[in-house]
Amino acid sequence: MTNDAERREAAILNAELRNFTRLSEVLAPEKVLELANDFFSLCGMAITANAGKVLSVQNDMMVAAFATGDRKEYAQRALKAAQDLQREFGTLGEQWKKDFGLPAAISAAVHLGEAVFGMAGPIAHQQFVAFGDCVSVTERLVHRARAGEVILSLDFMKALGASAQTLGCEELPPLEIGKRPPIAIYGMALEKRLDFT
């Protein structure tokens, strides 16, 4: 993906830090920002290592796009980034719990579809962004994900091909959005889902 305006298919990843609101209420402001930046740095490394591009930071969530290679390749990269995040955050989350007495975890969602990419925002503050149904659906999916879980849409599963059958995903109640047909979704936990979200 370049910074020029374009419409193309991509895999979108949303990663959200769960229970961080509670942590931000009890810790000193400097510590809150330190922990947030630890999370965002971890996300950035996993996304970049898997040929993705960070789109935005929204409160305690990071959004990224993957569009290198064919659709199976960028779906695989997006999924690997989500799995890497879940695995790598495990150690960090345990340390936070030990240090501050509160658990934290990542929930994530991946979806695949067409979006418009390019630079947008106020003059002198433009950022690389994405707009479209695919981006909106992924955001809804991440809010459905439980702590420690990755949600995959049916479109994303189809893009993975036969390898999707080896993931051990659990079919979940479909995502309902207004008058459109329900969206079939699947949940995958790296080890176990956590019960605080």
> Does the pLDDT value for residue 192 go beyond 60?
no
- How confident is the model at residue 195, as a pLDDT? 53
> Does the pLDDT value for residue 193 go beyond 70?
no
Q: What is the DSSP string of 69-102?
A: SSHHHHHHHHHHHHHHHHHHHHHHHHHHHHHHS-
> Does the pLDDT value for residue 194 go beyond 60?
no
- How confident is the model at residue 191, as a pLDDT? 63
Question: How high does pLDDT run on average in the chain?
Answer: 91
Domain 6-189 belongs to what architecture? 2-Layer Sandwich (3.30)
Q: Which of 152, 139, 148 is nearest to 197 (CA)?
A: 148
What are the two backbone dihedrals, phi and then psi, of residue 160, each rounded to the nearest 5 degrees?
-70, -25
Q: Which two tokens stand for residue 179?
A: 């008058």
pTM, 2 dp: 0.92
User: Could you report the per-residue pLDDT of 14-41, keeping only the tens digit for each?
Assistant: 999 998 988 999 999 999 999 999 999 9
Burial environment of residue 37 by CB neighbours within 10 A (0 to 12, 13 to 18, 19 or more): exposed
> Does the pLDDT value for residue 149 go beyond 80?
yes
For 98, residues 6+ apart whose C-beta sits below 8 A from its C-beta are none
Provide the phi-psi class of 62: left if phi over 0, else alpha when psi is between -120 and 50, else beta.
beta
User: Could you report the per-residue pLDDT of 45-103, keeping only the tens digit for each?
Assistant: 999 999 999 999 988 999 999 998 899 999 999 999 999 999 999 888 889 999 998 88
- How confident is the model at residue 158, as a pLDDT? 95
